[in-house]
């Protein structure tokens, strides 16, 4: 938000003949970001995001969580990792690499996402992927983005038998994703198309933060719910600093 006045100047400089003073500029940052990204002064960074293992335990009845109930989403835990993006930076392109680290003894190329019962991975509020697609139906949309809000998910009935996953932009043919079913090992990939990256970039820039959240959901099983194994990925970002 602090960078917005600067962005306004940039926009004015680019089109001094048609100064638009309309205050309804929700979408305004997009064009300047795309212009700046096309300007050839982008920078690159690779950052690792690590979510340590989380032991079972949902804190039912606390912090907005409901009381335990069979086959209903009643509780969540949220682990947050902030990306160390420079102040005022905007994303031009982003790639996610979910391959295991080479130093890992067990598996160099694939990692298992283990979780109970379901998970969502978000950047800021935007759901990047979710292991159970119906959860996303309850969320507010902004363009192609779906915005995570626990209050919209709490109380959702669970159908364990048809657990289709969700990936941002995949249903619209704008992204290509591979998400292994629960409790299986397999290659994960999230490849977001240009349109999706552009919307993500504008959202994160407006939010002024780059925070990944690993949200784990449960119904009523104290011994397993809201747990997940360690999970990590590398983010390769091409960005421009305003
Ligand atoms: Ca249960
Ligand atoms: Ca459960």
Residue 12 resides in a domain: no
Q: Answer yes or no: is pLDDT of 201 > 50.
A: yes
Q: How far is the CA of 58 from the centre of ligand 1 (A)?
A: 12
- From CA 119, how far away is CA 98, in angstroms rounded? 16
- Point out the least confidently predicted range of 12-16, 39-43, 51-55, 146-150: 12-16
pLDDT of residue 100: 62
- From CA 70, how far away is CA 157, in angstroms rounded? 9
* Model pLDDT for residues 40-96, shown as the tens digit of each residue: 789 999 999 999 999 999 999 999 999 999 999 999 999 999 999 998 899 999 999
Domain holding 147, by residue range, is: 43-241
Pair 213, 223: CB distance under 8 Å: no
Q: Helices in 76-160 by DSSP H: which ranges?
A: 134-137, 150-153
Q: How far is the CA of 69 from the centre of ligand 1 (A)?
A: 7
Residue 196 resides in a domain: yes
| Total of domains in the chain | 1
Instruction: Identify the three-state secondary structure at position 60.
Output: coil
Of the listed ligands, the closest to the CA of 70 is 1
**Mean pLDDT value across residues 150-172:** 90
pLDDT band, residue 98 (cuts 50/70/90): confident
Residue 94 resides in a domain: yes
Main-chain dihedrals φ then ψ at residue 18, nearest 5 degrees: -125, 80
pLDDT of residue 11: 35
pLDDT band, residue 181 (cuts 50/70/90): confident
Q: How far is the CA of 116 from the centre of ligand 1 (A)?
A: 10
Phi-psi region of 114 (alpha: psi -120 to 50; beta: other; left: phi over 0): beta
Among 98, 101, 90, CA closest to 35: 90
**Mean pLDDT value across residues 197-209:** 95
Q: What is the DSSP letter of 146?
A: E
Of the listed ligands, the closest to the CA of 132 is 2
pLDDT band, residue 14 (cuts 50/70/90): very low
Residue 8 resides in a domain: no
- From CA 55, how far away is CA 22, in angstroms rounded? 50
Q: How far is the CA of 70 from the centre of ligand 1 (A)?
A: 5
Ligand 1 ion local residues (Cβ < 5 A): 219-221
Q: Answer yes or no: is pLDDT of 240 > 70.
A: yes
Q: How far is the CA of 42 from the centre of ligand 2 (A)?
A: 45
Residue 99 resides in a domain: yes
Residue 120 resides in a domain: yes
Instruction: Give percent of the chain above pLDDT 70.
Output: 79
Burial tier of 31 (Cβ tally within 10 Å: 0-12, 13-18, 19+): middle
Number of H helices, E strands in the chain: 5, 14
pLDDT of residue 221: 96
Q: How far is the CA of 75 from the centre of ligand 1 (A)?
A: 12
Residue 90 resides in a domain: yes
Average model confidence (pLDDT) across the chain: 84
Residue 62 resides in a domain: yes
pLDDT of residue 108: 54
- From CA 179, how far away is CA 185, in angstroms rounded? 10
């Amino acid at each position: 938000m602090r960078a917005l006045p600067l962005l306004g100047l940039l926009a004015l400089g680019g089109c001094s003949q048609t100064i638009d003073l309309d205050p309804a500029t929700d979408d305004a940052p997009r064009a300047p970001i795309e212009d700046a990204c096309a300007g050839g002064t982008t920078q690159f960074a690779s950052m690792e995001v690590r979510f340590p293992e989380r032991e079972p335990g949902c804190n039912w009845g606390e912090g907005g969580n409901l009381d335990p109930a069979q086959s209903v989403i009643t509780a969540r835990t949220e682990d947050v990792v902030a990306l160390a993006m420079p102040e005022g930076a905007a994303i031009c392109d982003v790639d996610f690499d979910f391959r295991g680290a080479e130093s890992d003894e067990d598996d160099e190329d694939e990692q298992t996402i283990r979780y109970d019962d379901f998970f969502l991975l978000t950047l800021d509020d935007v759901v990047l992927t979710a292991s159970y697609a119906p959860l996303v139906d309850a969320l507010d949309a902004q363009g192609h983005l779906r915005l995570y809000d626990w209050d919209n998910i709490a109380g959702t009935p669970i159908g364990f038998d048809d657990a289709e996953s969700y990936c941002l932009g995949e249903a619209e043919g704008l992204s290509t994703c591979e998400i292994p079913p629960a409790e299986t090992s397999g290659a994960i990939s999230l490849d977001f198309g240009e349109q999706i990256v552009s919307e993500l970039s504008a959202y994160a820039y407006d939010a002024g933060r780059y925070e990944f959240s690993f949200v784990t959901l449960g119904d009523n099983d104290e011994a397993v719910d809201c747990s997940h194994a360690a999970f990590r990925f590398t983010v390769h970002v091409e960005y421009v600093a305003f």
